[in-house]
Structure 1
Amino acid sequence: MILSPSRRTLLAGSAGLLAAPRVAKAQTQYRPEYKMSVVGNRPIPFAEGAFQWAELITERSGGRINVKVYPGSQLVGGDQTRELLAMRQGIIDFAVFSTINIAPQVREAGIFQLPFLMPDHRAFDALLNGEVGRDLTGIMDRRDVTAVSFGENGFREISNSRRAIRTPADLRGLKIRFAAGAIFNDIFNGLGANPLQMSFADLQPALSTGAVDGQENPVNLFLAFRMDTLSQKHMTIWNYVNDALIFGLNKQLMASFTPADQQLIRECGIEAARRNVALARQGLGIPGTDDSALVEARNRGVEVTILTPEEKRAFATALRPVYDKWAGTVGRELVAKAEAAIRTAS
């Protein structure tokens, strides 16, 4: 899930033209440190992608581009929804953005939050490697962000402390935390749950005290943060959305680097994203992996429910009004491109 070779060539050429007038300055005025923001921390694949990108840039530049990661969105006070604004303001230089967190500011990024749009990883890849990915790169460029590659946080599965979820009716009355975006409020209201928005930093104490019953996050994050110890004893694999990641940096900063440095930053971003995707998919039982992550969850006493295609369709049907409403917000032309790509990939 990276930018295509032709797209990388085009972007590299365009970035080189932008950088040309400032080459001399870029060669002599490197900063002591460039700041990279990311939600969470190692060992989750999301954060791992950011750390590896920073480390690759620093190492391969011989330290002249010294990138330091600030995990937990600490540069924006733990509020991951402010990362895009902070980059545009120059507070942060690099980031691995969650499309969920930037969708309130970049409506097109909400394509990945349309419920049950993407049935599997093949569909997810089709979006990022096709017209949708190319369009999103251009959209980020107009928001003063140079996107060099795409990664994956993972399909978001739902867990709770009260009961197994197999039908829409099973969600009725459950207090479910979501990270950001009004679409998630509509999704869980549409299923009869009581949605509550809060940062990831606030999630763990909320689960431990019973202020919320459940949450939705990738399996790798569930395991890494031991949510099984926070009364999350029921997990349903429903693959309702997959959170794409954008490896990006401030557009003006990118233009300030020499063409060689720009190429180095891109190549490191592509490699880090590739590693991130592999980590995000480990142990989920998809083609090319085993199901060790699901086995581990069960070994921790978690009841893991895997929905059948028919059971997923029941959720998709219940949420069709939400899908249609938000397709208009995201942009119907972009949604049509996504649906066509997924049909071709199926």
Structure 2
Amino acid sequence: MRLTKIALAAGLALATALPLLHQAAAADYKDEYKISTVVPAPFPWGIAADKWAELVGQRTNGRIKMKVYPGSQLVSGDQTKEFTAMRRGIIDMAVGSTINWSPQVKELNLFSLPFLMPDYKAIDALTHGPVGDKLFQILRDKGVVPLAWGENGFREVSNSRHPIRKPADLEGLKMRVVGSPLFNDTFTALGANPTQMSWADAKPALTTGAVDGQENPVSVFTIAKIYAVGQTNLTLWHYVADPLIFAVNKEVFESFTPEDQKIVREAAVEAGALCVELARKGLTDGDTSAIEEVRKLGVDVVELTPAEHQAFVDATRGVYKDWTQKIGPDLVKMAEDSIAKR
């Protein structure tokens, strides 16, 4: 009986202490944790970031308050500085593009190797296999804690001049590309004139005709109304994909209790799965409703034949080989093997 009373007392003490421990931990937490993204809702990317913040707030009973700052506003609109800012603790968290982080993490250029991934199963084979594990370890070594994968989608090419069915159709076109040298090399190999600019500058440049075309996922093309600024020709070529990463500054993550770390991680995984689902909606499993929606907007949508697609693969093979050496031949081989086994 005495032992039972002692056990009950100990249990009550523990039950009383746990909320106090949470309160003490919460007292050390910031009033707000800033999440950086490039685009807001209703883009899948922005919706997923909002969902992450919402789930964490609910499951921590408000101990961790996260707020999304879209438009790369935490890095003055330059999305390529996002990773460095998070690593240094200037921003707390991000749902970031592998493309935008690739200038600081060369291995993330893997996803931008031209025509590496032929389909969505190939993306999944990389992000949810040994390649994804390897990349997450590289990020951890750089002072950032990666938690989950999301997706912005395959990037398709559009322009205001004419349909693109062969590499020669890109000859001389002024193309807006993201701030990665690999994109410059790819479009140069195809005969285009690539111009690097941030997303904030892209749409005005398309509006004025400063550039002829751009490349982005279908969801971005429709939600951002890129078709309304003269981009009436869209070619589905799946030349690169843009996985997203949910991540937290290392010191911030380690400041959370183990229980809260688990909540933040699991919420990121759930939000990431939602992001992938939304990014692929109307584009997979025989559902082409997203493409039909684009056609209804008056856009000429080109779907390449296998032979036409191969011509683009051949034209960019030199870029693929050069960048394999820069990214790391072993990692590229691991990726190729994972895709072959998908």
Query: TM-score band (shorter)?
Result: over 0.9
Match of 2:91 in 1: 92
Deviation at 1:293, TM superposition (A): 1.1
Aligned length: 322
Secondary structure of 1:239's aligned partner: strand
Of residues 317, 327, 330, the one that matches 1:330 is 327
Task: Specify the code of the residue in structure 1 equivalent to 2:308.
Answer: E
Q: Is the 8 A contact 1:155 1:217 kept in 2?
A: yes
**How do residues 8-87 of structure 1 correspond to structure 2 at under 5 angstroms?**
26-87=25-86
Distance 1:343 1:290 in 2: 25
CA displacement 1:81-111 (0-9 Å, x = unmatched): 0111111221111101100001011000000
Larger Rg: 2
Identical pairs, percent: 52
Is 1:343 the counterpart of 2:340? The answer is yes
Q: Look up the equivalent residue of 2:281 and give its one-letter code.
A: Q
Shift of 1:310: 2.2
Alignment correspondent of 2:8: none
What is the match of residue 291 of structure 1? 288
Matches within 5 A, 1:231-246: 231-246=230-245
Conserved? CA contact 1:23–1:257, under 8 Å: no
Using the TM superposition, name which of 72-81 and 303-312 deviates more: 303-312
Following superposition of structure 1 onto structure 2, how do residues 248-263 of structure 1 map, counting pairs within 5 Å? 248-263=247-262
1:184-195 correspondence to structure 2 within 5 Å? 184-195=183-194
Partner of 2:14: none
CA distance in 2, matches of 1:25, 1:149: 28
The yes-or-no answer on 1:273 pairing with 2:272 is: yes
TM-score scaled by structure 2? 0.92
CA distance in 1, matches of 2:262, 2:250: 14
Instruction: Check whether the contact 2:151–2:275 (CA below 8 A) recurs between aligned residues.
Output: yes
1:225-266: per-residue Cα shift (whole Å, max 9, x none)? 111110000000000000011100001111111110000001
Q: Displacement, 1:25? A: 6.3
Amino acid in structure 2 at the alignment position of 1:321: G
**1:313 Cα deviation after fit:** 1.2
Q: TM-score, structure 1 length as denominator?
A: 0.91
Spell out, residue by residue over 1:20-78, the C-alpha distance to the aligned partner (whole angstroms, 9 max, x if none): xx999634311110100000111111122111111111121111100000011101111
Q: CA contact under 8 A between 2:29 and 2:255: conserved in structure 1?
A: no
Q: Please report the RMSD computed on the Cα atoms of aligned residues, expressed in angstroms.
A: 1.3
**Residue pair 1:156, 1:240 contacting (<8 A) in 2 also:** yes
**Amino acid of the residue matched to residue 303 of structure 2?**
I
Contact 1:137 / 1:147 at 8 angstroms: preserved in 2? yes
Within a 5 Å distance, the mapping from 1:49-198 to structure 2 comes to 49-198=48-197
CA contact (8 A) 2:26 2:63 kept: no
Task: In structure 1, give the amino acid aligned to 2:290.
Answer: A
The amino acid that maps onto 2:242 is: D
Alignment of 1:213-224 (within 5 A): 213-224=212-223
Q: 1:25 to 1:254 in 2, by over 3 A?
A: farther
Taking the aligned partners of 2:246 and 2:324, their CA distance within structure 1 comes to 25
Matched to 1:189, the amino acid is: T
The residue type equivalent to 1:334 in the other structure is: L
- The 2-side partners of 1:166 and 1:25 are apart by 62
The whole-number CA distance in structure 1 between the counterparts of 2:54 and 2:22 is: 24
Deviations 1:113-164 (A, max 9, x none): 0000000000110001111000011000011111110111100000000000
Instruction: State the partner residue of 1:312.
Output: 309
| Residue 303 (str. 1) matches residue 300 (str. 2) | yes
